[in-house]
Amino acid sequence: MHAIRAAHAFDGIRFLPGGATVFLEADRIVGVETGRGDLPDGVEVVEYAGTVLPGLIDCHTHLVADSTVGGLERAGAMPDEAIDIVIIESLRAHAAAGVTTVRDLGDRDYRTLVFRDRPGLPRVVASGPPLTTPGGHCHFLGGVVDGNLRAAVVARAERGVDVIKVMASGGFATLGTDQLGAQFTVAELAALVDEAHGAGLPVVAHAHSAIGMRNAVAAGVDGIEHFTGLTSEGPRIDDDLLHEVARRGVYIDLTMGSDRSLLSRMPAPPPPLAALAARLGFTSFEAFYLSRIGVFSRLRERGVAVVTGVDSGMGPAKRHGNAWRTIGELVEGGHTVAEALAAATSVAAEACGLAGKTGRLAAGYAADVLIVDGDLAQDPSLLSVPREVLVRGTPVGLA
């Protein structure tokens, strides 16, 4: 057994007064004591002047995508060996940034499943190829379903996925899809949810459109990704929908976490997307992105459970390892630092089906630990430079 002692500590729910000593044995946390109590005989301790907290969780990543423009679509045609290299590099980038668990919501041919518990690499919660319509969003990943959604869920359960991902609307990464419409009806989604829940699997829905969001909530999904609320008149997220989301306990991931310094330099979108943006009144990537910060405030006011996902891998502004950026954005949107950190640790663990396993500094939890310099309660941006990272007890090499 050995210990980490830090002047400041966040346990996944709250900041601990006087810091904490975290006792570790192999890949487990075996105890946490606040303050600076006496250590048992023979226990080696490493002391830090900064903050210790659980490792971060990115609830929306695409490990097969290499953070270049068009990387996810290219993955649809890459040989397996090349994809595996990208997956490993993506996981290493997450770990170096303090992310100890990722939820992959769209791979190619289930390639991520074999990487779920590699030593020294983040834990992977995997969906396999997302369910979509013929020609629908991300159809190139191999998840096209033409009719029998229940059978598609059964096939994924037999492959051993951890979560079912369904495309409830079109998406910006797939030209020709309907970003304002719905890819599946409520009845179709409800059948999918029923089959998944019967197999013990949660369901998360990609939904940019308001109708896609409403359909997903009505069908009983467990989480919604993006939650953009697009209509023909621009983004609209009604209060009654937020009330229903909160009532049902649906986890919402706005997929923020972009490197804002790159937004103004993004390449011009293809003509169809440029036309859609003009129609909806979006003057720039940056203006649209910043408008989304205000949605965090509305979600908090309504008591909606928010988690941190980046859609990492989807371009230069959404690199693997950007999860820390979402925490500052939550604070900008009105969350306290503790609430924002919980969204990236304990609440994210619940959303990923990992409650009781990770996301907390507590006895019995995995030794997924992040240490940063300084007092995180005063400056969340300190997360940008990890001091130490442990993934299930294994130290991660930091650049």
* pLDDT value at residue 354: 98
Q: Where residue 399 falls among pLDDT bands split at 50, 70, 90?
A: low
Q: Is 245 exposed, middle or buried (0-12, 13-18, 19+ CB in 10 A)?
A: buried
Neighbours of 258 (CB within 10 A): 26
| DSSP state for residue 39 in the 8-state scheme | P
Q: Provide the mean pLDDT of the chain.
A: 94
Token pair for residue 225?
A: 């990704």
Q: Where residue 183 falls among pLDDT bands split at 50, 70, 90?
A: very high
* pLDDT value at residue 278: 84
For the chain, what is the total number of helices (H) and then of strands (E)? 11, 16
What residue type is assigned to position 198 of the chain?
Answer: G
The stretches of the chain forming alpha helices (DSSP H) are 71-75, 80-96, 149-159, 186-198, 210-219, 239-248, 271-280, 285-301, 323-332, 337-343, 346-351
Q: Is the pLDDT reported for residue 292 higher than 70? A: yes
* pLDDT value at residue 282: 83
- Structural element, H or E, at residue 6: strand 2-10
- Residue among 252, 379, 227, 392 nearest 308 (CA): 252
Q: Where residue 184 falls among pLDDT bands split at 50, 70, 90?
A: very high
CA atoms of 317 and 308, how far apart (whole Å): 16
Give the residue, 175 or 28, on which the prediction is more confident.
28
Q: How far is CA 13 from the centre of its chain?
A: 18
CATH no., domain 2-54+358-395: 2.30.40.10
Judge whether 106 and 138 are in contact, CB under 8 Å.
yes
- What's the angle, vertex CA 275, arms to CA 237 and CA 205, rounded to 5? 40
CATH topology of domain 56-351: TIM Barrel (3.20.20)
Token pair for residue 117?
A: 């518990």
Token pair for residue 296?
A: 């965090």
CA dihedral 146, 148, 151, 157 (to 10 degrees): 70
Q: Is the pLDDT reported for residue 240 higher than 80? A: yes
Task: Please compute the mean of the pLDDT values over residues 165-182 and round it to a whole number.
Answer: 89
Residues in Cβ contact with 161 at an 8 Å cutoff, skipping those fewer than 6 apart: 110, 113, 126, 127, 128, 201
Q: Is the pLDDT reported for residue 397 higher than 60? A: yes
pLDDT digits (tens, 9 = 90+) for 70-87: 878 887 778 999 999 999
Query: Cα(first)–Cα(last) distance of the chain, in Å?
Result: 27
pLDDT digits (tens, 9 = 90+) for 10-59: 999 999 999 999 999 999 999 999 988 778 888 899 999 999 999 999 99
- 3-state DSSP: the chain helix, strand, coil percent, rounded to 5? 35, 25, 40
Judge whether 69 and 273 are in contact, CB under 8 Å.
no
Q: Delimit the domains of the chain by residue range.
A: 2-54+358-395, 56-351
Token pair for residue 379?
A: 């400056």
CA atoms of 48 and 245, how far apart (whole Å): 41
What residue type is assigned to position 285 of the chain?
Answer: F
